[in-house]
């Protein structure tokens, strides 16, 4: 019997696993795929996340792989920057006063390489069914059955672990889909003055431009009712509308996503814990999803380790309840506000952003909230 079984070897599951293993807990991670996922999804790491990864001893390896982004911009479509926010104002708050741009697929091998001997990963082990009682958890996979004292579901938005508890993600789905394209272009030459991270306002077609080590990523809103093939055929023309390169953009990858704002009714169900997308999903504007999931993993894994070593179970209940509060009151609220702002035509909001960028005190307060440093993480 493993002390803890974790479903999912993504950044959330492996962060939880490494946190527990460093506390002396025996952990087995079950991954449905034959290897770590290579797809490029989340790509922004905020300062408190970098602090947590530093505590785990893996941040230096991530910094070697990623791009340090000391500023980010709000821009008008086809115009100049509205405001450039300098994350250096956080230098008194964190040893990492910047964002790191790096695909999550570059973090997971780093986490796995840091695994001590009491942490094992089993690939091709998709969780199919879970049974629990007061003493432990029985996990059935396509490759066999495992028994554990505790089970963590970090197996994504379609979590089999969450379904086993009878819970669903409650909330809403956006009317539009998000189209994300990874392109091999030098957008700093095509769009002089842009920052590594850019949120571009337009009531008809807002967009986001993010630099990663291998690509620039372009996020575009897309009607919810059209088929994928139609929208992917339209993509070259839409990219030409972002910047005319005099030739077609070089597109390495493109995908369409339904986007949701949803949360599970609870993050603990007896011997089962939920983290990351298994517990809550939100739109990607602001880069809060993976970061909040890693925060779930660290906070709840430490609480679970405390319980395993003798603390009362209310410690785990409190940690799970706090993480759900963060998901609703901070992550979902902030990401939805970001979506609403990019679609708007409010000139007063633009003026507030300009004033914000010019005021280091106000800028610091804003960035602490935007980077998940306030208000809940200090609680």
CATH number of the domain bearing residue 190: 3.30.9.10
Q: Do residues 283 and 233 both lie within one domain?
A: no
Q: CA torsion 258→264→269→273, rounded to 10°?
A: 50
Q: Are the C-beta atoms of residues 235 and 254 closer than 8 Å to each other? A: yes
Report residue 358 as tokens: 């010019």
Q: Is residue 208 part of a domain?
A: yes
Helices (H), 208-346: 228-242, 289-308, 314-326, 333-343
What gap in Å lies between CA 219 and CA 275, rounded to an integer? Answer: 25
Q: Is residue 309 part of a domain?
A: yes
Q: Do residues 123 and 151 both lie within one domain?
A: yes
Q: Do residues 37 and 180 both lie within one domain?
A: no
- With b meaning 16 or more CB within 10 Å and e meaning fewer, what string describes 227-257? eeeebbeebeebbeebbebeeebebeebebe
Q: Facing residues of 146 across strands?
A: 139
CA angle at 113 for the pair 107 and 114, rounded to the nearest 5°: 95
Q: Do residues 184 and 326 both lie within one domain?
A: no
Q: Do residues 184 and 307 both lie within one domain?
A: no
Q: Do residues 38 and 111 both lie within one domain?
A: yes
Q: Is residue 271 part of a domain?
A: yes
Cis bond before residue 375 (omega within 30° of 0)? yes
Q: Do residues 38 and 110 both lie within one domain?
A: yes
Report residue 175 as tokens: 């009317």
How much is the pLDDT for 376? 52
Q: Which of 178, 258, 168, 278 is nearest to 219 (CA)?
A: 178
How much is the pLDDT for 375? 58
What gap in Å lies between CA 10 and CA 294, rounded to an integer? Answer: 10
Q: Is residue 52 part of a domain?
A: no
Burial class (CB in 10 A: 0-12, 13-18, 19+), 344: middle
What gap in Å lies between CA 238 and CA 226, rounded to an integer? Answer: 15
How much is the pLDDT for 378? 43
Burial class (CB in 10 A: 0-12, 13-18, 19+), 268: buried
Question: 264 in the Ramachandran plot: left (φ > 0), alpha (ψ -120 to 50) or beta?
Answer: beta
How much is the pLDDT for 377? 46
pTM: 0.95
Name the domain count of the chain: 2
CATH number of the domain bearing residue 127: 3.50.50.60
Q: Are the C-beta atoms of residues 334 and 261 closer than 8 Å to each other? A: no
Q: Is residue 61 part of a domain?
A: no
Q: What is the pLDDT along the chain (379 residues), one digit of tens a residue?
A: 689 999 999 999 999 999 999 999 999 999 999 999 988 788 999 999 999 999 999 999 999 999 999 999 999 888 789 999 999 999 999 999 999 999 999 999 999 999 999 999 999 999 999 998 878 999 999 999 999 999 999 999 999 999 999 999 999 999 999 999 999 999 998 999 999 999 999 888 899 999 999 999 999 999 888 899 999 999 999 999 999 999 999 999 999 999 999 999 999 999 999 999 999 999 999 999 999 999 999 999 999 999 999 999 999 999 999 999 999 999 999 999 999 888 877 788 889 999 999 999 999 999 999 999 975 544 3
How much is the pLDDT for 379? 39
What gap in Å lies between CA 73 and CA 83, rounded to an integer? Answer: 6
Q: Facing residues of 117 across strands?
A: none
């Amino acid at each position: 019997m493993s002390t803890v079984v974790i479903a999912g070897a993504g950044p959330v599951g492996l962060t939880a696993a490494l946190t527990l293993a460093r506390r002396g807990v025996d952990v087995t991670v079950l991954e449905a795929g034959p290897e770590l996922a290579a797809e490029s999804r989340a790509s922004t790491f905020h300062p408190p996340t970098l602090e947590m990864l530093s505590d785990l001893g893996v941040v230096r390896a991530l910094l070697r792989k990623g791009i340090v982004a000391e500023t980010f911009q709000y821009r008008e479509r086809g115009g100049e920057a509205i405001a450039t926010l300098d994350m250096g104002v956080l230098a008194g708050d964190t040893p990492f006063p910047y964002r790191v741009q790096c695909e999550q697929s570059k973090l997971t091998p780093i986490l796995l390489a840091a695994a001590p001997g009491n942490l094992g990963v089993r690939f091709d082990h998709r969780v199919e069914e879970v049974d629990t009682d007061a003493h432990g958890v029985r996990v059935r996979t396509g490759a066999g059955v495992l028994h554990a004292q505790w089970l963590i579901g970090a197996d994504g938005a379609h979590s089999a672990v969450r379904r086993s508890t009878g819970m669903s993600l409650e909330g809403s789905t956006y009317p539009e889909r998000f189209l994300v394209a990874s392109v091999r272009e030098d957008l700093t030459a095509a769009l002089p003055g842009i920052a590594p991270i850019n949120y571009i306002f337009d009531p008809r077609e807002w967009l986001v431009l993010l630099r990663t080590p291998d690509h620039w990523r372009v996020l575009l809103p897309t009607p919810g009712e059209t088929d994928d093939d139609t929208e992917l055929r339209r993509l070259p023309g839409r990219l030409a509308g972002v910047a005319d390169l005099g030739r077609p953009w070089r597109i390495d990858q493109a995908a369409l996503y339904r986007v949701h704002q949803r949360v599970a009714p609870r993050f603990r169900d007896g011997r089962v814990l939920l983290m990351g997308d298994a517990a809550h999903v939100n739109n990607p504007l602001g880069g809060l999803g993976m970061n909040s999931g890693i925060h779930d993993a660290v906070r709840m894994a430490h609480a679970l380790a405390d319980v395993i070593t003798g603390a009362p179970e209310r410690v785990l209940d409190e940690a799970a309840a706090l993480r759900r509060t963060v998901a609703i009151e901070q992550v979902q609220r902030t990401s939805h506000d970001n979506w609403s702002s990019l679609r708007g035509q409010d000139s007063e909001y633009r003026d507030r952003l300009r004033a914000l960028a010019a005021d280091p005190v106000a800028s610091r307060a804003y960035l602490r909230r935007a980077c998940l440093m306030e208000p809940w993480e200090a609680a």
